[in-house]
Amino acid sequence: MTGWKPWVTIKAPWLFHFNSHRGNLMAFLFLRGRGELRKEIPDMAISKKVKNALNGASWVRRMFEEGEELKRLYGEENIFDFSLGNPNLEPPASLKKALKALADCPIPGMHRYMPNCGYSDTRQAIAEYLKEESGLPFDEKHVVMTVGAAGGLNIVLKAILDEGEEVIVPSPYFMEFKFYIENCGGKIRLVETHDDFSLNLKEIEKAIGAKTKAILINSPNNPTGVVYDQASLEKLGELLKKKSQELGKTLFLLTDEAYRRIVFDHIQLPIAFRNYPHTIRVTSHSKDLSLPGERIGYVAVSPLCEDVEEMIAAIIFANRTLGFVNAPALMQRLVAPLQRNSVNVREYEEKRDLFYNSLTSFGYEVVKPQGAFYLFPKAPIEDEVAFVKELQSKRILTVPGRGFGKPGYFRIAYAVDRKVIEGSLPGFKEVAEKFGAGKR
């Protein structure tokens, strides 16, 4: 118990004597800013690695938790919370109907253990969809059902990584990737994207070396909403072929496609399976069917992948031994017939339009996203943490770009009701005017 510190330290209680709403908010932000309201992690018997990770807590989680506190103080309706990418749309009505039907007429044994890769029927339905989409000879053995995309990423990384091997990740990026890679003994190697957040193939080429095992791309992207186009995926495929040959080993392309069906402007998302044989797709129904709490996703290994059967066996082994065992049984049954369905993506597109048009009219510099439900504008001042704090004073919650490896920017997650976006716009405008947005 050496070095124990209280969980909450408040060094300036006088600040709580403010009795107006604004006073409370300013006191809260002041203390937060000085780290005096931060929950500290006492010295305990936990691993140093985890302790470090906890002390550097995720910015998304931090902002989300601050938001929860602000909501308690001011009421939920008075906070404009864009911190967490938590889909606000309901799952398709057909899913709820099927859930009710299953509950009313249960299938004998439907709650039992199953093969670690998941139900054959579900994997077959997904394989048919993949075959049609890619033109490749997918069948059920190429599909492993997973506990969301997060579970899928962990088991794929576990299956491929030896201690110290590197995974290249274009930045800005979804920060959890770092932890997933480190969970499996690997090292993340970040590579900057271009200013428009497209893939920088020259930088990727420079980063590939003897320790490289894979590149992990995410399109549509969290945090930028950017979609990698066909040409860049073709070039990436060529580069990976060339480098695999030069290094005398196979490099893998891992594609996180958690937002695959959330695309706008009638674009067709390129199919990476067609551009590189050693491709493994990880995805889920968290976003397209609005089921993040149900933890259902899958991994699909290209039928053209080297040693495909061994690879799949390794992924199934990792699913079992990392303790996932198998993906949730009920959800596997429910998503099988919904492979061509999704929530109404146009609703996200309309919100993108409203937000993007408003922010750019206030002077913010924003790359127009073509998918997912995020905007990643440039902060009008270099210190985006200070900027995000200023937005908080208008009760707007966003996440500093450094939480995604890109200081100077901030992320807005707009999977929220339209009225939340509308309510926040005057605050965004005031802060833009204060800092002269667009002049940096």
Ligand X SMILES: Cc1ncc(COP(=O)(O)O)c(C=O)c1O
Interacting residues with ligand X (CB under 6 A): 85, 148-150, 174, 218, 222, 256, 258, 284, 286, 292, 297
Cβ proximity of 143 and 339 under 8 Å: no
Whichever of 286 and 424 has its CB closer to ligand X, that residue is 286
For 402-429, the three-class secondary structure string (H helix, E strand, C coil) is HHHCCCCEEEEECCCCHHHHHHHHHHHH
Q: Is 341 left (phi over 0), alpha (psi -120 to 50) or beta?
A: beta
Give the separation between CA 399 and CA 174, rounded to whole angstroms: 12
Give the separation between CA 261 and CA 281, rounded to whole angstroms: 14
Cβ proximity of 330 and 223 under 8 Å: no
Closest separation in Å from C-beta 416 to ligand X? 15
Whichever of 222 and 232 has its CB closer to ligand X, that residue is 222
Of 239, 213, 200, 89, give the one whose Cα is nearest residue 157.
213
Q: Is 162 left (phi over 0), alpha (psi -120 to 50) or beta?
A: beta
Q: Is 307 left (phi over 0), alpha (psi -120 to 50) or beta?
A: left
Closest separation in Å from C-beta 273 to ligand X? 18
Describe the crossing of helices 59-74 and 21-33 by its angle, rounded to 10 degrees: 160
Whichever of 135 and 293 has its CB closer to ligand X, that residue is 293
Whichever of 134 and 146 has its CB closer to ligand X, that residue is 146
Closest separation in Å from C-beta 8 to ligand X? 28
Cβ proximity of 216 and 177 under 8 Å: yes
User: How is residue 212 annotated by DSSP?
Assistant: E
Closest separation in Å from C-beta 375 to ligand X? 14
Q: Are strands 212-218 and 252-256 parallel, antiparallel or unpaired?
A: parallel
Whichever of 224 and 424 has its CB closer to ligand X, that residue is 224
Instruction: Give the N- to C-terminal CA distance of the chain in Å, as an integer.
Output: 48
Whichever of 118 and 292 has its CB closer to ligand X, that residue is 292
- Bridge partners of 400, per DSSP, are 410
Whichever of 292 and 377 has its CB closer to ligand X, that residue is 292
Task: Quote the tokens at residue 262.
Answer: 């959330």
Whichever of 28 and 324 has its CB closer to ligand X, that residue is 324
Whichever of 66 and 256 has its CB closer to ligand X, that residue is 256
Closest separation in Å from C-beta 402 to ligand X? 17
Give the separation between CA 302 and CA 272, rounded to whole angstroms: 10
Closest separation in Å from C-beta 86 to ligand X? 9
Burial 242-260 (b: 16+ CB within 10 A, else e): ebbeeeeebbbbbbbbbbb
Closest separation in Å from C-beta 5 to ligand X? 32
Give the separation between CA 326 and CA 3, rounded to whole angstroms: 41
Closest separation in Å from C-beta 152 to ligand X? 7
Describe the crossing of helices 418-435 and 384-393 by its angle, rounded to 10 degrees: 120
Cα distances (angstroms) measured from residue 255 to each of 118, 214, 219, 342: 21, 10, 8, 20
Give the separation between CA 67 and CA 53, rounded to whole angstroms: 21
Whichever of 258 and 366 has its CB closer to ligand X, that residue is 258
Q: Residue with the closest Cβ to ligand X?
A: 148
Closest separation in Å from C-beta 147 to ligand X? 7
Whichever of 220 and 237 has its CB closer to ligand X, that residue is 220
Closest separation in Å from C-beta 295 to ligand X? 7
Cβ proximity of 420 and 80 under 8 Å: yes
Closest separation in Å from C-beta 149 to ligand X? 4
